[in-house]
């Protein structure tokens, strides 16, 4: 199949960590015999002379990332204000470039990631060029965006006009069905894990490499420092059990708008030396953090299919995670992790239970290895072929 992947969520030379999970899916789909994939990753246009700093300015018109060829059409966009017409602006900025490529060599389908604005723009392109469009729902695009009055009808239209929909979890599929979309056109295909990148390593070696203390317990949380990741719950949970676990440290890997408030909270709770925020870490470096940790924590209020869980498990490290969204679909057994309600007290109890438990790390690794990106790619390919054959 010749597939056009259409998404703003794709790594590039300015933001190499941007949408790594989409890259993995595309990479493994491209490796399957007979597939050819072209990635169009639109970028908002910002003039060079404009004083505001933005990584968008550093993205070239064309590039190759990890063996995948990328095209970055520009389109006009004013953050927040232009959201109701964001999809239309994306379409206008990308259509003629996609049309030229389609005339040179036809695409069999468009594989779009993120329902709005990407899915909306992709469906418009598909209608004009008569190409079937598939939309992948990943989390916020379905859990949050439909609550916006002006965006909800655009999302419903995009989903309704698509040839098929991929949801990364059953929880997301349920939300899509509630929007009035026929269940039979939705396929649940969760994300995978890159076993060449995430594997069990010696814990002492991992701590030595990262410059971490050899003694004591270590918990790791990976995620943007924003409201829905709820790291403040995790800090409160640590405060509840701090006196019983005097050697327990928490490392929060990520960056975001809540850094200062989280640092202030840790200081006020007397945890300034036990809550450490090293910032964003390269994806290829995360294996050292997972292997150094006794526990990986996820304290979110909502999730689609959190990749950090399988990545941690592939390293043999169990998880403590809030029972939200697609999380219970990843942690299907108490032998792989502990699920708790989304509040600080439940997280505190979950942490203590997990730290006391003797885990079978080999069994954890075996479970994680059952869901690779190769298997995901095979499921995606089968779904695309099945749905396009009906058109």
Is 338 part of any domain? yes
Instruction: Give the up-direction half-sphere exposure of residue 128: CA atoms within 13 A in the CB hemisphere.
Output: 15
DSSP state of 228: G
Residue 166 is predicted with a pLDDT of: 98
Is 197 part of any domain? no
Is 198 part of any domain? no
Question: What is the crossing angle of helices 259-268 and 231-241, to 10°?
Answer: 10
Same domain, 49 and 183: yes
pLDDT, tens digit (0-9, with 9 covering 90-100), for 238-266: 999 999 999 999 999 999 999 999 999 99
Q: What is the mean pLDDT of residues 1-23?
A: 94
Same domain, 21 and 145: yes
Residue 53 is predicted with a pLDDT of: 63
Residue 80 is predicted with a pLDDT of: 73
Residue 213 is predicted with a pLDDT of: 93
pLDDT, tens digit (0-9, with 9 covering 90-100), for 326-350: 999 999 999 999 999 999 999 999 9
Q: How confident is the model at residue 49 (pLDDT cuts 50, 70, 90)?
A: low
Residue 51 is predicted with a pLDDT of: 60
Same domain, 376 and 299: no
Same domain, 76 and 176: yes
| Helices and strands: H and E segment counts in the chain | 15, 16
Percent of the chain at pLDDT above 90? 90
Q: What is the mean pLDDT of residues 150-154?
A: 96
State yes or no: pLDDT of 46 exceeds 80. no
With residues binned 3-state (H G I as helix, E B as strand, rest as coil), the percentages for the chain, rounded to 5, are 45, 15, 40
Domain count within the chain:
2
pLDDT, tens digit (0-9, with 9 covering 90-100), for 271-295: 999 999 999 999 889 999 999 999 9
Q: Which residues contact 243 (CB under 8 A, 6 or more apart)?
A: none
Which domain, by its residues, includes 210? 203-368
Is 187 part of any domain? yes
State yes or no: pLDDT of 48 exceeds 70. no
CA distance 284 to 218: 20
State yes or no: pLDDT of 79 exceeds 80. no
By CB atoms closer than 10 A (0-12, 13-18, 19+), residue 174 is middle
Instruction: Round the average pLDDT of the chain to a whole number and report it.
Output: 95
Same domain, 31 and 65: yes
Q: What is the mean pLDDT of residues 104-119?
A: 97
Is 278 part of any domain? yes
pLDDT, tens digit (0-9, with 9 covering 90-100), for 190-242: 999 999 999 999 999 999 999 999 999 999 999 999 999 999 999 999 999 99
364 touches 336 (CB < 8 A)? yes
Is 170 part of any domain? yes
Q: For residue 236, what is the domain's CATH number?
A: 3.40.50.2000
CA distance 73 to 136: 21
Is 58 part of any domain? yes
Same domain, 131 and 238: no
Same domain, 361 and 376: no
Q: Which residues of 256-285 are buried (b: 16+ CB within 10 A; e: fewer)?
A: eebeeebbebbeebebeebbebeeebebee
What is the residue whose two structure tokens read 């030229």? 100
Same domain, 128 and 228: no
Is 307 part of any domain? yes
Same domain, 270 and 239: yes
CA distance 331 to 76: 41
- Structural element, H or E, at residue 295: strand 295-298
Same domain, 341 and 377: no
Residue 54 is predicted with a pLDDT of: 75
Same domain, 323 and 179: no
Same domain, 304 and 185: no
State yes or no: pLDDT of 351 exceeds 70. yes
Q: In this structure, what is the dihedral angle of CA atoms 107, 111, 116, 121, given to the nearest 10 degrees?
A: 0
């Amino acid at each position: 199949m010749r597939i056009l992947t259409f998404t703003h969520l794709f790594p590039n030379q300015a933001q190499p960590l941007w949408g790594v999970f989409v890259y993995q899916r595309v990479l493994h789909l491209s490796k399957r015999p007979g597939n050819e994939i072209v990635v169009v990753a639109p970028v908002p246009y910002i003039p060079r002379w404009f004083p505001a700093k933005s990584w968008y300015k550093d993205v070239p018109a064309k590039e190759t990332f990890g063996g995948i060829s990328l095209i970055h059409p520009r389109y006009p966009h004013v953050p927040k204000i232009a959201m109701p017409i964001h999809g239309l602006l994306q379409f206008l900025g990308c259509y003629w470039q996609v049309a030229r490529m389609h005339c040179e060599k036809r695409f069999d389908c468009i594989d779009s990631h993120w329902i709005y604005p990407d899915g909306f723009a992709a469906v418009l392109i598909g209608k004009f060029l008569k190409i079937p469009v598939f939309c992948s729902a990943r989390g916020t695009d379905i859990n949050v965006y439909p609550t916006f009055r002006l965006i909800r009808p655009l999302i419903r239209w995009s989903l309704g006009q698509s040839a098929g929909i991929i949801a990364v979890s059953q929880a997301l599929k349920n939300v899509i069905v509630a929007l009035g979309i026929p269940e039979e056109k939705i396929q649940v295909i969760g994300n995978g894990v890159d076993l060449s990148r995430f594997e069990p390593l010696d814990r002492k070696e991992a701590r030595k490499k990262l410059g971490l203390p050899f003694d004591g317990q270590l918990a790791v949380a990976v995620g943007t420092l924003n409201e829905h990741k709820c790291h403040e719950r995790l800090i409160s949970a640590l405060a509840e059990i701090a006196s019983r676990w005097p050697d327990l440290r928490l490392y929060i890997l990520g960056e975001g708008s809540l850094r200062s408030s989280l640092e202030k909270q840790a200081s006020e709770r007397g945890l300034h030396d036990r809550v450490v925020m090293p910032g964003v870490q390269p994806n290829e470096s995360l294996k050292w953090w997972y292997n150094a940790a006794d526990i990986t924590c996820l304290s979110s209020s909502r999730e689609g299919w959190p990749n950090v869980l399988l990545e941690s498990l592939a390293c043999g490290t169990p998880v403590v995670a809030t029972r939200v969204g697609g999380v219970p679909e990843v942690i299907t057994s108490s032998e792989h992790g502990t699920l708790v309600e989304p509040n600080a007290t439940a997280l505190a109890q979950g942490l203590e239970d997990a730290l006391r438990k003797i885990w079978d790390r080999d069994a954890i690794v075996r479970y994680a290895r059952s869901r690779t990106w190769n298997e995901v790619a095979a499921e995606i390919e089968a779904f695309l072929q099945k749905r396009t054959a009906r058109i």
